[in-house]
A = this chain, B = another copy of it.
Amino acid sequence: MASRGEQVQANVLVALLAHGKPTSAYKIMRDLQDGQPKIAPPTIYRALAALVEQGKVHRLESLNAFVACQCAHHDHPAILSICDDCGAVEETVAPKLLNQLTRLTKKSGFAAMRHIIEIHGRCASCKNAGAQS
């Protein structure tokens, strides 16, 4: 049987998938409070930390928000493209580029452990929508 923690993680993941867009921890909490009124921030943050650890969720540092990973099967950290118009996030995996970054910073002796790459801009559909208006 799933532990309580795993159950919360599953619920959080469902909530994130339902949104399909960057969602704050507190928004998720309010979602879950429909069925579990007393759930508190630390519970949400613990579940999110576990999901991020598992690679099932990405944390968006530049938005202080979270998205469900869209391509479950990769271990590589993702490059996240964030549309500032509609909020859509696209994941790109580019291990070579990450290696380049690691090598670049290694020149001064830096040992890279975790790469955060977030690119803000406009997605294809918002760009088109903007152009025609």
Interface residues of A (CB under 8 A from B): 61-62, 64, 79, 81, 83-84, 90, 92, 94, 97, 100-102, 104-105, 108-125, 127
Q: Are A113 and B121 in contact (CB under 8 A)?
A: yes
* One of B61, B64, B109, B116 near A127 (C-beta < 8 A): B109
Q: How many copies does the complex hold?
A: 2
Q: Are B92 and A105 in contact (CB under 8 A)?
A: yes
Q: Are B116 and A122 in contact (CB under 8 A)?
A: no
Closest 10 CB pairs of A and B: A109-B124, A113-B121, A61-B62, A114-B120, A112-B121, A116-B118, A61-B61, A81-B105, A111-B121, A111-B122
Q: Are B90 and A108 in contact (CB under 8 A)?
A: yes
A101 to B116, CA, bound (A): 13
